[in-house]
C-alpha cells in the first residue's frame, strides 16, 4: 500500500481512503488512520485541520482515480460501443464495491455538503462523459439508438453501481459480471459497428 517515497501526508490520505472504503466515515477514527499510516497525532494535525479535512482529501483522491480509470477506457480507440464495453469490462475490485458509490450509503458523508461534493461531481462527470460517447456514436451514424444518450449513460452508471451491490450481497463477482454482460447484450444491437 505504501512506498518508501510517500510523504506522511500521502500515507495519511491513503490510509484514510482504505478505511473509508472498509469502515465508512464513522468507523474511520483519527487513531485508526494514524496507526494505518504509521504517523503520529502531531503529524496528522500538522498536515490536516482534522478528520473532515483529511476525509475530504481522501475522497477527492479516490474520485480523481475513478475519473482517470474511466477516462482511460472511454477515450480509447474504436467505436462508441467498444469504448463503453472497455469501461464496463475494466478490472475492478467488485466484491469491495465502488469506493465512490459506497460513500453514497454513508449518512455522515451525505450529510456534509463538503464531503458529498466530490462524489456528486464525479458521478455527474461520469454520466456526462458517457453521454458524450453515446452522442458521438449517434453523430457518426454508428448507433441507431432511439434512446437519449443521457438516458443510456444513466443506465450504464446504474448497472455498474447496482452490479456492485448484487455482487457484495451474493458474495460473488458473477452477479456484477452478469449485469454488465446483460447490458452489453442490450447495447450491441443499437450499434451498427462494434469494431
pTM of this prediction exceeds 0.75:
yes
C-alpha distances (whole Å) from 33 to each of 8, 16, 36, 90, 112 are 12, 6, 5, 30, 20
Asked if residue 77 belongs to a domain, the reply is: yes
Q: What is the CATH number of the domain that holds 112?
A: 1.10.357.10
Of all residues in the chain, the percent with pLDDT exceeding 90 is 82
For residue 3, being part of any structural domain is answered with no
For all residues of the chain together, what is the average pLDDT?
A: 92
The pLDDT of residue 194? 46
The answer to whether position 1 is within a domain reads: no
Note whether residue 37 is domain-resident: yes
Residue 86 lies in a domain: yes
- Total structural domains within the chain: 1
Q: Is residue 127 part of a domain?
A: yes
In a domain, 162, yes or no: yes
What's the domain range around 72? 8-190
Yes or no: say if 184 and 88 are a contact pair by the CB < 8 Å rule.
Answer: yes
Q: What is the torsion angle, in degrees rounded to the nearest 10, for the CA atoms of residue 179, residue 181, residue 183 and residue 186?
A: -140
CA distances from 145 to 80, 151, 152, 184 (A): 12, 11, 9, 14
pLDDT in tens, 132-177: 999 999 998 888 767 799 999 999 999 999 999 999 999 999 999 9
CB atoms closer than 10 angstroms to residue 72: 12
The answer to whether residue 127 scores a pLDDT higher than 90 is: yes
Amino acid at each position: 500500500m505504501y512506498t518508501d517515497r510517500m510523504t506522511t501526508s500521502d500515507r495519511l490520505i491513503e490510509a484514510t481512503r482504505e478505511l473509508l472504503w472498509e469502515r465508512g466515515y464513522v468507523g474511520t477514527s483519527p487513531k485508526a488512520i494514524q496507526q494505518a499510516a504509521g504517523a503520529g497525532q502531531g503529524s496528522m494535525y500538522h498536515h490536516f485541520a482534522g478528520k473532515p479535512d483529511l476525509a475530504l482529501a481522501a475522497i477527492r483522491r479516490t474520485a480523481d482515480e475513478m475519473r482517470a480509470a474511466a477516462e482511460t477506457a472511454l477515450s480509447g480507440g474504436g467505436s462508441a460501443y467498444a469504448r463503453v464495453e472497455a469501461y464496463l469490462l475494466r478490472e475492478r475490485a467488485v466484491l469491495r464495491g465502488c469506493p465512490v458509490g459506497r460513500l453514497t450509503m454513508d449518512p455522515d458523508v451525505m450529510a456534509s455538503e463538503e464531503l458529498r461534493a466530490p462524489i456528486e461531481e464525479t458521478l455527474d462527470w461520469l454520466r456526462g462523459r458517457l453521454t458524450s460517447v453515446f452522442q458521438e456514436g449517434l453523430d457518426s451514424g454508428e448507433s441507431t439508438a432511439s434512446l437519449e444518450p443521457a438516458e443510456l449513460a444513466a443506465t450504464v452508471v446504474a448497472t455498474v453501481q447496482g452490479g456492485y451491490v448484487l455482487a457484495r450481497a451474493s458474495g460473488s463477482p458473477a452477479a456484477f459480471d452478469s449485469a454488465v454482460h446483460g447490458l452489453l447484450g442490450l447495447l450491441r444491437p443499437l450499434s451498427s459497428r462494434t469494431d
